[in-house]
């Protein structure tokens, strides 16, 4: 798979493979093995209701009540490690992708993406694909060589976060 295919599937299905907001971590772990620790501050105690951060390679998850609340992938580093489908194994992919490439792939796949409608820093472009329970947001950063319409903007991250989760 190429990064464009992974991201097009993210836009189409609302997740990266099994990793979708609303999925149970128990189900995901049965297929992909246990996740790796993804806490930003290891050892810090979480407040109650605060999600756990875990990851499969570079796919970062927020988990609350054993349910995936957010699925996020940062692509700005040049390559990403994604779950390969074999428990405990990841696969490395080059991750550079422009807004123009992704817009074209979405249009070929018949995916409707909206331009982000809230105020963004001037150097960012956001594409939003509607999904339930979580919309998928693709955030691009403009590069200096940018000509027009964000065609030179490079993907920084893709994230789907369920903001309506209510703890059981």
Choose the stretch contacting Zn ion; rule: CB under 5 A; options: 13-21, 22-30, 31-39, 61-69: 61-69
Shortest Cβ 48–Zn ion spacing (Å): 10
Only one of the segments 80-88, 96-104, 147-155, 160-168 lies at the binding site for Zn ion (rule: CB under 5 A); that segment is 160-168
CA distance 8 to 6: 6
Q: How far is the C-alpha of 21 from the C-alpha of 150, rounded, in Å?
A: 28
Binding range to Zn ion, per CB under 5 A, among 25-33, 37-45, 57-65, 93-101: 57-65
Least separation, in Å, of the C-beta of 65 and Zn ion?
Answer: 4
Q: Considering the complex, state which of residue 70 and residue 153 has its C-beta at the smaller distance from Zn ion.
A: 70
Residue 64 sits in the site that holds Zn ion (CB under 5 A): yes
Decide if residue 125 touches Zn ion (CB under 5 A).
no
Nearest approach, Cβ of 52 to Zn ion (angstroms)? 10
Distance from C-alpha of 68 to C-alpha of 19, rounded to nearest angstrom: 8
- Size of site (CB under 5 A) for Zn ion: 3
Asked if 65 touches Zn ion (CB under 5 A), the answer is yes
Residue 164 near Zn ion by CB under 5 A: no
Query: What are the residues binding Zn ion (CB under 5 A)?
Result: 64-65, 167
């Amino acid at each position: 798979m190429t990064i464009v295919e992974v991201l097009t599937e993210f836009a189409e299905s609302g997740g990266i493979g099994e990793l979708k907001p609303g999925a149970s971590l128990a189900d995901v772990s049965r297929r992909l093995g246990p996740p790796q620790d993804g806490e930003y501050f290891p050892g810090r105690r979480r407040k109650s209701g605060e999600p756990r951060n875990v990851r499969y390679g570079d796919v970062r998850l927020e988990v609350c009540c054993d349910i995936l609340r957010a699925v996020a992938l940062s692509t700005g580093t040049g390559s990403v490690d994604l779950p390969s489908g074999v428990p405990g194994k990841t696969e490395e992919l080059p991750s550079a992708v422009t807004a123009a490439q992704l817009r074209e792939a979405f249009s070929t796949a018949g995916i409707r993406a909206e331009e982000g409608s809230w105020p963004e820093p001037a150097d960012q472009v956001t594409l939003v694909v509607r999904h339930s329970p979580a919309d998928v947001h693709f955030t691009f950063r403009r590069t200096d060589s940018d000509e027009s319409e964000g065609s030179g903007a490079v993907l920084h991250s893709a994230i789907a976060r369920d903001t309506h989760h209510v703890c059981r």
